[in-house]
């Protein structure tokens, strides 16, 4: 959102970006057994900022349980800004499995690994999901991501305008050119959505990348916490912008939601 509300230099243009859809544990070795109580980080570093841009970050006291190979996707809660791929992107993985009773020194390694993704070879296939397997002596992990050429950053905010916030929802984002969803909120996140003191729904992820001449598609399935399990489905399509904001509303029956997209170019 750094350039949403201010004039940007004329040389700021849409830029190549990387969109992560999922990070999943495919196979475990080294004596590890399901379920896994996982904590640690998955992060990227790019030419925009050498600091870590976290995709997953979970401490030992709030670890995520991966129940089985069929339920082994990490709960991605970021990035905090779009990932730029003008130069190769470094992906860092430092994940451990919490033991059932012992101290941290007895925890086992799930994956301690880093790899450099050289985007050059994939520029010929922009807009296609890419599945990359990374193996260590302890596990094999799958990273699903895509390259978006000439893209902008979109930061999504959802606010409760009218009605009750007592509902559950699955909220996804995708671009018109890529057949893969970014999960922003899921039914599994709790019995009802969490709303902060300012009336905004707390999302898993807020930042996505969109082709500069493309479209952002937001879809929500919501059920009233006090009613039956019939889902209300709403979808809205936003044309990408270089700066400023877009706004629309989801009328769910039991409440009215404001959807705001803050657009930004990255230098």
- CATH number for 247: 2.60.40
Residues 190 and 107 both lie in one domain: no
Q: Per the domain annotation, does 10 fall within a domain?
A: no
Mean pLDDT of 31-35: 94
Of 121, 149, 177, the last residue of a domain is 149
pLDDT at 62: 94
pLDDT at 44: 97
pLDDT at 261 over 80: yes
Strands (E), the chain: 15-28, 36-46, 49-58, 64-66, 83-84, 89-97, 108-117, 130-135, 139-163, 167-175, 182-185, 207-211, 215-224, 232-239, 245-251, 255-264
Of residues 60 and 102, more confidently modeled = 60
Average pLDDT value for the chain = 91
Full-model pTM: 0.92
| 124 band by pLDDT with thresholds 50, 70 and 90 | very low
pLDDT tens column, 130-179 = 999 999 999 999 999 999 989 999 999 999 999 988 999 999 999 988 99
Residues 36 and 132 both lie in one domain: yes
Residues 112 and 162 both lie in one domain: no
Residues 144 and 216 both lie in one domain: no
Q: Per the domain annotation, does 47 fall within a domain?
A: yes
Report the chain's C-alpha Rg in angstroms: 19
Q: Per the domain annotation, does 130 fall within a domain?
A: yes
Residues 111 and 156 both lie in one domain: no
Write the CB contacts of 71 (distance below 8 Å, at least 6 apart in sequence): none
Domain with 171, as residue range(s), is 151-264
Mean pLDDT of 191-197: 91
Q: Quick one: residue 73, left, alpha or beta (phi over 0 = left, psi -120 to 50 = alpha)?
A: beta
Residues 127 and 143 both lie in one domain: yes
- Phi and psi at 142, nearest 5°, equal -110, 130
Number of domains in the chain: 2
| 229 band by pLDDT with thresholds 50, 70 and 90 | confident
Residues 130 and 180 both lie in one domain: no
Write the CB contacts of 105 (distance below 8 Å, at least 6 apart in sequence): none
Of 124, 149, 174, the last residue of a domain is 149
């Amino acid at each position: 959102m750094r350039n949403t509300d201010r004039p940007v230099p004329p040389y700021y243009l849409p830029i190549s970006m990387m969109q992560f859809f999922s990070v999943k544990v495919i196979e475990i070795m080294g004596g590890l057994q399901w379920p896994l109580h996982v904590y640690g980080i998955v992060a990227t570093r790019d030419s925009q900022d050498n600091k870590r841009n976290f995709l997953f970050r979970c401490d030992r006291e709030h670890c995520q349980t991966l129940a089985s190979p069929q339920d082994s996707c990490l709960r991605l809660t970021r990035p905090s800004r779009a990932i730029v791929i003008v130069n190769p992107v470094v992906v860092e993985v430092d994940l451990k499995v919490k033991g059932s009773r012992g101290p941290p020194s007895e925890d086992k390694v799930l994956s301690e690994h880093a790899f450099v993704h050289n985007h050059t070879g994939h520029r010929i296939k922009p807009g296609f999901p890419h599945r990359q397997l990374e193996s260590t002596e302890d596990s094999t992990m799958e990273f699903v991501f895509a390259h978006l050429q000439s893209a902008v950053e979109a930061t999504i905010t959802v606010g409760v305008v009218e009605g009750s916030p007592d509902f559950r929802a699955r909220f996804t984002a995708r671009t018109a050119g890529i057949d893969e969803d970014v999960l922003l909120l899921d039914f599994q996140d709790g019995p009802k959505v969490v709303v902060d003191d300012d009336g905004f729904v707390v999302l898993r992820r807020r930042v996505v990348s969109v082709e500069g001449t493309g479209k952002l598609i937001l879809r929500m399935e919501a059920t009233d916490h006090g009613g039956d399990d019939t889902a209300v489905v709403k979808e809205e399509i936003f044309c990408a912008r270089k700066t400023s904001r877009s706004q629309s509303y989801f009328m769910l029956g039991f409440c009215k939601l404001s959807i705001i997209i803050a657009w930004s170019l990255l230098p």
